[in-house]
């Protein structure tokens, strides 16, 4: 069995600077990093809060996964990310269990970490991200 811990909660936003001001002002967190992830078409900010983090995501264009999400659903919860020790093994386990994946192989995410997404149909309509933290 695999140990999954909540690593972060991803929130799609229209205005990243406004969202940063709101989250840091309301919750007292500080921005850990801000990064453009061109391959995913987003600029992301990670704000540690307690034992997890809030990831704010602003699309670079409307024709990206987060851009389409915002157009369809508006701002709000985009995904929940679970930290795993071995992302390849976790993906293999999910495939063996018949779980539908978006990413069958990990890709590079923010902070240089390995990530992969599990289709929302697998978890009651919630997009799940697996993340293997690369130190």
Provide block-wise average pLDDT over 10 residues at a time, the chain (135 residues): 83 97 92 95 95 96 96 97 95 95 95 95 94 89
55 classed as catalytic: yes
Gap between the Cα atoms of 128 and 121, Å rounded: 10
The count of structural domains within the chain is 1
Position of tokens 């902070």? 111
Residue 4: the pLDDT is 78
Q: Which of 55, 58, 78, 132 is catalytic?
A: 55
Q: What is the pLDDT of residue 50?
A: 87
Query: Among 7, 78, 79, 113, which one carries the catalytic annotation?
Result: 79
Residue 28: per-residue pLDDT: 87
Using the CB atoms, write b or e for 6-15: b if 16+ within 10 Å: ebbbbbbbee
* Cβ neighbours of residue 77 closer than 8 Å, sequence gap 6 or more: 9, 10, 11, 12
**Domain that residue 111 falls in:** 5-132
What pLDDT is recorded for position 65? 94
For the question of residue 30 being annotated catalytic, the response is no
pTM for the full predicted model: 0.92
Question: What CATH number is given to the structural domain containing 71?
Answer: 3.10.180.10
Q: Which of 7, 58, 129, 132 does the annotation list as catalytic?
A: 129
Residue 44 is among the residues annotated as catalytic for this protein: yes
**129 given a catalytic annotation:** yes
Cross-strand partners of 132: 114
pLDDT at 94: 95
- Residue 8 bears catalytic tag: yes
């Amino acid at each position: 069995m695999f140990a999954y811990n909540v690593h972060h909660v991803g929130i799609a936003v229209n205005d990243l600077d406004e969202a940063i001001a709101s989250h840091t002002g309301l919750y007292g967190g500080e921005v850990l990093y801000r990064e453009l992830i061109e391959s995913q078409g987003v600029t992301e900010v990670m704000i540690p809060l307690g034992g997890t983090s809030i990831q704010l995501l602003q699309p670079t264009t409307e024709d990206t996964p987060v851009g389409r999400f915002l157009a369809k659903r508006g701002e709000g919860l985009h995904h929940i990310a679970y930290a795993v020790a071995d992302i390849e093994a976790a993906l293999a386990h999910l495939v063996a269990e018949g779980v539908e994946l978006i990413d069958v192989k990990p890709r590079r995410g923010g902070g240089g970490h390995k990530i992969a997404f599990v289709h929302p149909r697998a978890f009651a309509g919630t997009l799940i991200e697996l993340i293997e933290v690369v130190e």
